[in-house]
Structure 1
Amino acid sequence: MQQPPGSNHLTDTDRSLLSGLADFSATVTEKTVNGNPARPGELDSFSYDFSQATQSKGLNRLNRTLVQNQQSHLTAQYHKPLYAGQKLELTTDSESQNYRYYQINDQACSTSRIGYVEGELVEASVSHSASQSTRISKYVKGHLEEDNVIPASASKTQNFLVVLQQALEQDKAATLGRGHVIARIHLGRYSGQSDVDQRPARAQGLTVHGVSGVRISSRKSMNTLMRLEPR
């Protein structure tokens, strides 16, 4: 995945729209065979390609756009008997040439986009598109009786910006609430309401300068208020 400086860390928001997989490319194929001796051009074959590519563009982590693209492509050609249960044995004899020949070409694409400006989420969407073409040729005793092409296509784009923005606001509110609790705990320590170690500073190996009447709960807490030195 190509990335701008400082943007190699994915946030939870990024992961919510991305696949979670590393980029890849894969191909599955079957051996191509001549399925009809009378028509050498009619091959039986299967091929499926699937890939993913992710790219991050922008100046830095706060100003960037993530784009993840997944693509698939399937092609297949095969012979089938005219009727279910009928055995297909194609030879050069015209009496055996009773079949349907299928030629399939399917393609699909999915694109996820996430964008930030000054750290604020400004884009979050997923787009899907697919197209299919199926050609069916019907032969009876070697003669072409029907030749139909059935096309199909569909596309859809979903915008998740509002949903994710609301989720981020809820997370911020929850984090702020936890911060208030932590602040109250620390204030309690400084006012002497905490049950943590409240021995005199010198008993803990510390010398306090410039502050009096404050009970020390821990070396870490006091570091935020005054200068501490080993005895």
Structure 2
Amino acid sequence: MTPINAGVRIAPAYTAPQPASASAGSSRAEQAAATPSTTVSLGQSPRSDDTATYSSRGTLAVPLRYVLENDSLNKLSMNMTIGVQSSAIGSRFNGLGAALVNQLVANGGQSFTQSVFAFADGAQPSAETLRIQGNNLRQHPANAVNLSLTTASGATVTLSLASGEQGLAVSAEVQGGQLTSDELKGLASLADSFQGTINGLSEQPPRLQLGKLATLDPALFSALQMNAKLDTVNGEQLSFDLALDDSARKLSLQGPAGNVQLNLDTRDTSLLGKSAQRQAAISNYLSQFDAAQGRGKGDENLVSLLKDAFVQLNSADDIARPATGRIPLLAAKDTALLSGLADFSASISQTSQQPNSLRPTELDRFDYKVSQSTTISGASPANRSVQQDQQASLTAAYHTSLNPQMSMLEAMATQNYRYHEISDQSSTSTRLRYDKNSLVEASVSQQASRNERVRSYAEGVLESDVSTPASVSESRNLLGLLTDLFERERISQRDRGVSILEAQLQSQRSQWQLQSDPALIRPRDAQQ
């Protein structure tokens, strides 16, 4: 009896009869070799006397069976057979990333491929046909996810998932060496995070959940690359790219709503501050992102993606890193006025909309950029200068109804609305200078400027055009403050063996953190 398991029928392997003659035996042996050994059919096989059924479009519905490229009914193959029957890409790849990683680990790091395709029931595709179809799908997928890991020993692990209309194909390849037992364990620990990243990107709207992919163990892995192209519900594609190594972390996500990019320069670990300092900087940047979204009416999902990327990629620096052999560019006390984060650049570019056909130049848009860069100069380490610049810019535009009780659709139909245009700039620059290792300069400059132009239309007639600018610039000498804090720290360390510097700096950091709202930059007399 053919075994039945949870509605899935596994057809027994096909065995050709023994040849009666040399010529007949040759042709039958070729047929047996060319026939796949495992097929999976949904439900019961149709009987020869079944009445023909038709699809909702009136065409003859052909019963399908699903044929695996390789005869291996493991968890990966079963997940593929289930996934191929779904039209939603999230369901197609459900569990496949983790299963692919775990199968490679179970194989001891030996490369393999697998694919599954739908065929009309009764078709007998050859093994060569399946192999060719699988390779073609891997090379030209409609949807794909790829992950590449470079191990500390120099081997490269490449995982790929590919989806097409009629099938799924995966591959796992190890080149440049063999995986050690520790590397296999490390790879297994990434399975859930790989799957979680795929699941998050497949959601509508997409989410970013990198997990351990963002915090690779540097003793096991030196680099990671992941990219994905996935269909969205509106038929457009989402493109995702992630690259991590010991000098940079880069993330890019492009989709129908817009683009999000984040690049971290991680070459100089001496920029990194302690945990409390770093958390304070991250919290301030997240507040700046939220403030920009609220002021420019940006897409909340895009801003959430940037926030998630910022937190997750910076979290890698919370893990102790092995010595790189590079000479630190900064002394420990240099970071007092710095953010404590790696230098970075980030941006959101929202897909513009043209909601008013009568005024096509009035676009709804949102473009936000933020960055941090640190410059170290000087004739010698004892006579060094350190400057850190943080800056942000926002350009945005959006429509609101002139009547709060009226929807935007109604407002556009009657041309009773306001058109807002936002243009904001902000920056903070901190500077330290040493002479023979003595701090001789510590200063900060904060600047923020805003302008909002609002044009109001009543029944299509321009009633008002008002611009509201605001600007603040403030510079402060912090040499006395830092000199005092360093002296208190020295005494505390000498008398009690306890560091108090970080706790004292926490209440002062608003003076040199990036601030986009002019109203929140306090003048010097307010700091006393």
CA distance in 2, matches of 1:13, 1:167: 11
Q: Residue in 1 aligned with 2:468? A: 150
Structure-2 residue corresponding to 1:78: 398
Give runs of aligned pairs for residues 35-114 of structure 1, distance below 5 A: 35-89=355-409, 96-114=414-432
Amino acid at match of 1:74: L
Partner of 1:24: 344
Q: Which amino acid in the other structure matches residue 25 of structure 1?
A: S
In the alignment, what sits opposite 2:504? none
**Matched AA of 1:117:** D
Change (3 A) 1:80 1:174: closer
TM-score (norm 2): 0.31
2:403–2:416: 8 Å Cα contact kept in structure 1?
no
Supply the distance in 1 between the matched residues of 2:363 and 2:418 (Cα, whole angstroms).
Answer: 13
* 1:15, distance to aligned residue in structure 2 (A): 1.4
Equivalents in 1 of 2:412, 2:458: separation in Å?
13
Q: Is the 8 A contact 1:125 1:159 kept in 2?
A: yes
Deviations along 1:143-173, one digit per CA (max 9) or x if unpaired, are: 1000011111011122210121122333444
After TM superposition, give the deviation of residue 115 of structure 1 in Å.
0.7
2:455 to 127, 137, 140: 137
* 3-state SS, counterpart of residue 43 of structure 1: coil
In structure 2, list runs of 5 or more residues that go unmatched: 1-264, 269-325, 497-528
Match of 1:8 among 328, 331, 352: 328
TM-score of the pair, normalised by structure 1: 0.69
CA deviations on 1:176-223 (whole Å, 9 max, x unpaired) are 668xxxxxxxxxxxxxxxxxxxxxxxxxxxxxxxxxxxxxxxxxxxxx
Change over 3 Å in CA distance of 1:162–1:7 after alignment to 2: farther
Closer, same or farther: CA 61–14 of 1 in aligned 2, 3 Å: same
Contact 2:431/2:441 (8 A) holds in 1 = yes
Q: Is the 8 A contact 2:386 2:431 kept in 1?
A: yes
Partners of 1:161 and 1:108 lie apart in 2 by: 24
RMSD (Å), alpha carbons: 2.5
Is 1:126 equivalent to 2:460 in the alignment? no
CA distance in 1, matches of 2:480, 2:426: 27
Counterparts in 2 of 1:122 and 1:38: CA distance versus 1, 3 Å: same
CA contact 1:35–1:78 (8 Å) conserved in 2: no
2:332 & 2:476 partners in 1: Cα distance? Answer: 19
The amino acid of 2:443's aligned partner reads S
Deviation readout 1:35-85 (Å, 9 max, x if unpaired): 211100000000100011100010121101100001100011000001223
Conserved? CA contact 2:329–2:376, under 8 Å? no
**SS of 2:422's equivalent?**
strand
**Structure with the higher helix share, 1 or 2:** 2
Whether the 8 Å contact between 1:110 and 1:126 is mirrored in structure 2 is: yes
* Equivalent position SS for 2:379: strand
Q: Write the distance in 1 (CA, Å) between the matches of 2:426 and 2:375.
A: 19
Contact 2:347 2:369 in 1 (8 A): yes
Q: Percent identity?
A: 40
* Cα pair distance change 1:75/1:92, threshold 3 Å: closer
From the superposition, tell whether residues 61 and 86 of structure 1 become closer, same or farther in structure 2 (CA, over 3 Å).
Answer: same
Larger RCO (CA under 8 A, 6+ residues apart): 1
Contact 1:80 1:88 in 2 (8 A): yes
